[in-house]
Amino acid sequence: MSRVLVVTVPVPAHTRNALPIVARLVERGHEVAWFASRHFHDDVEAVGATPVPYGRTRDFDGERLLEEFPQLAGLRGPRAIGRAYADVFVGEARNRIADLSALLAEQPVDVILCDGLSYGVSLLAEVHGVPYATIGDGPIAHAHGPTPAFGPGFQPMSGPLSRLRNHAVRTATRRWILAQAQATHDALRADLGLAPDGRSVLEVSMSPLLHLQGCTPSFEYPTPNMPASVRWIGALRPDPPANWMPPPWWDEVLTSRRPVVHVTQGSIRPDMRELVVPALRALADEDVLVVVTTGRVAEPDLVAALGAPLPANARVCEFVPYDLLLPHVDVCVANGGFTGVTTALHHGVPLVQVGSTEEKAEIGARIRWSGVGVRMRTTSPSPRRLRAAVRRVLHDPGYRAAAQRIGVEMRSHDAGREGADLVERLCAPGAARGALAPTVTRQ
């Protein structure tokens, strides 16, 4: 039996994505302590892990991220990424290190598993000589040579301008967009007595020992010099809930002769006027069944945002398990959260991606590049444009064919089981301890 420490940030997906891996570790007899926001302690206990509360680390409600960090409101693309890294993720690294240092002093661990945004964990692991693994629940940010720089949502291109464009954007990102986050992280290394390692904060989000990437290669850009630590484990799908009660209209989904269109804004964008309201208006007169999941927004609040009764072809629920819903869906209209997108692809469902906040530009770019859907470069589309995008995906079989091709690859993986297998190997006798894999400085 090994003792495992799990560390996650309070954003819902970044915490819940680790649940299946932790559940498998607990089932195999390992002792798991989970440094997590109080908002997720019930989820942690449900899989048999022991929740450890934040101390100095800021504990916020990740489903109300814009309320907690109003400086992020209105930002798009690289500017939003830079501010989020500086204020939310790298910005909490010092407090995270303080909390975890006290924890490790009392209870040494065999391995640490964290989401890639839990900055400070890599530094602490290096100081204590503890092996650590990261969970990749977003596009890979390791971009060199012909691979597009992370942030603007560029796609791969060929020709002599490719490397010039990518080098220019990477340089601008490090010197300006991520400059504050980079300076904070470099200062922390120095404060802990660690030598400079030359990596950007984006590269630091991937453990040099083991990085569990929550997708498969066909949904990621070809990357020269991909770190040897990357292991593809497929979509990070949650275990089926034991007590979910289907809504009264569930049989309509199971037996629908009309195409089923699923609409979701994800877990951290509660303003239904961004995507859900335009989608309901766009599809009201279409011969489709529209299934909307709202997260924590109740149906009366959605109706109020719509300013009219729900269309006759719309069905609304706060939550439906994706593994039950998606096998019956023809098109998924989503704001482009990584876990939702990869889970849709696991089931071979093509997408209409609406959203340009957070890292959505990067996810949308991969949707277009892989041919699995339509990318809309906006957060608030007009009903006319959205209707045209849904029709395009419904009527062009190429999108579904591409999604199904990736789905075959995704379904060959079980992220919970494979993730647990790999973490076990990392803490097994003979695994790397005392020194992390050497860091390579790249220009």
Mean pLDDT by 10-residue block, N- to C-terminus, for the chain (443 residues)?
95 93 97 97 97 95 79 76 90 96 94 96 95 95 76 80 81 86 95 92 93 96 88 95 92 97 83 92 97 91 94 96 96 93 98 84 93 90 96 98 98 98 85 41 28
Specify the pLDDT at position 375.
Answer: 95
Specify the pLDDT at position 438.
Answer: 37
Residue 426 burial (CB count, 10 A): 21
**Angle CA(294)–CA(297)–CA(299) in degrees, nearest 5?**
85
In this structure, what are the phi and psi dihedrals at residue 293, rounded to the nearest 5 degrees? -110, 135
pTM: 0.92
The two structure tokens encoding residue 243: 């007590």
Specify the pLDDT at position 396.
Answer: 98
Specify the pLDDT at position 169.
Answer: 82
Cα–Cα separations (whole angstroms), residue 181 to 7, 45, 82, 178: 20, 33, 7, 5
Q: Which residue, 368, 350, 378, 164, is CA-closest to 278?
A: 378
Q: In what order do the strands lie in the sheet with 31-35?
A: 50-52, 31-35, 3-7, 111-115, 132-136, 210-213, 230-232
Cα–Cα separations (whole angstroms), residue 36 to 19, 41, 65: 12, 7, 16
